[in-house]
Amino acid sequence: MALTFAVNTANANTLATPENDQAWSFSTDLGMDSLNISGLIVSSDFMALATDEGHQIQLFTRLKTNSGQLIWQPGQLISLDSSMAALNTELDIEGLAWQAPYLYAIGSHSVKRAKLKKNKSAKQNLKRLQTVSREPARQQLFRIELDRHYKAVKVESLSLAEELQNHATLGLFVGIPSKENGVDIEGLAIDVKGRLLVGFRGPVLRGNIATVLRLKLHKKKFKIKSVKTLYLPLAGRGIRGISEMEPGFLVLTGAVGDQDLSYQVILWNGEDALPSESASKTALRYLCDLPSSMGKPEGIQFLQKTATRIEFIIVQDGLKNGQPTVFSCAL
């Protein structure tokens, strides 16, 4: 008999409650693509937003009006590609994580297949169908050192391509387009020990299992020291975002491709949840589904937890400035 294990969905289909459909406003227009926000970090002093188009991350500082309204003032626009071709570079940044003094950003590490078009001939569409694009620019993890004024003073990068290629499970999916259940990184977080948690939207493995790579870095140089693989059964969904909280993490989940699946928020204790006879039944806890939207939820930021509820911010690809919205779910 096959072993099955899934997120506790006793309260499945509980909708998150929107508390504020415009969590903040901006003093001026963003300096980067405002319709493709893919990740965020919000601290008490600054905020960072990422877009999956182009090659930039924008930092913000807080402003407060006399009425107490929170406004973010766009600050430094960090270019992650200093080459002459930067204007045309798409790094596909999908996740951000912060632990002073470092801001981390990660690309999807994915490949893509050209879309078929109705105004093309069968021969042209066949060629498009047979073409898979591998873009090294997408295969980067960045570490950005910020000074006490939240200005970037150093940008370093490395690639997870070799780690993925040599991975016993993920290596089999490296050359498959992301929307076809290939490798697609979208979540990034950092634990109290400074280990990075890299969450995969795809592939979703048999048993409806998603993957997280936990990376331990060298202390004195930006280099991977060790990698541990964690497996999360997420009801057929992949990871769209991860945010630290105390204790554990909030995980935003959604479909690998265009499947008709809701976006869910899961509470995770940070432990491996691979199905087994000794697997913890409390590693994952379903919290709520997000209401349907015209956008695609891609970033999550934990705000606060009370005895009965948990609050977080969601930003969405396809909506202006990500339309940052505060939601709450019952615990």
CA–CA distance, 220 with 238 (Å, rounded to integer): 33
* Element (DSSP H or E) covering residue 298: strand 296-305
Question: With bands split at pLDDT 50, 70 and 90, how would you rate the model's confidence at 26?
Answer: confident
Q: Is 109 left (phi over 0), alpha (psi -120 to 50) or beta?
A: left
Question: With bands split at pLDDT 50, 70 and 90, how would you rate the model's confidence at 1?
Answer: very low
Place of tokens 């970033």: 299
Q: What is the pTM of this model?
A: 0.92
pLDDT recorded at residue 157: 96
Question: With bands split at pLDDT 50, 70 and 90, how would you rate the model's confidence at 88?
Answer: low
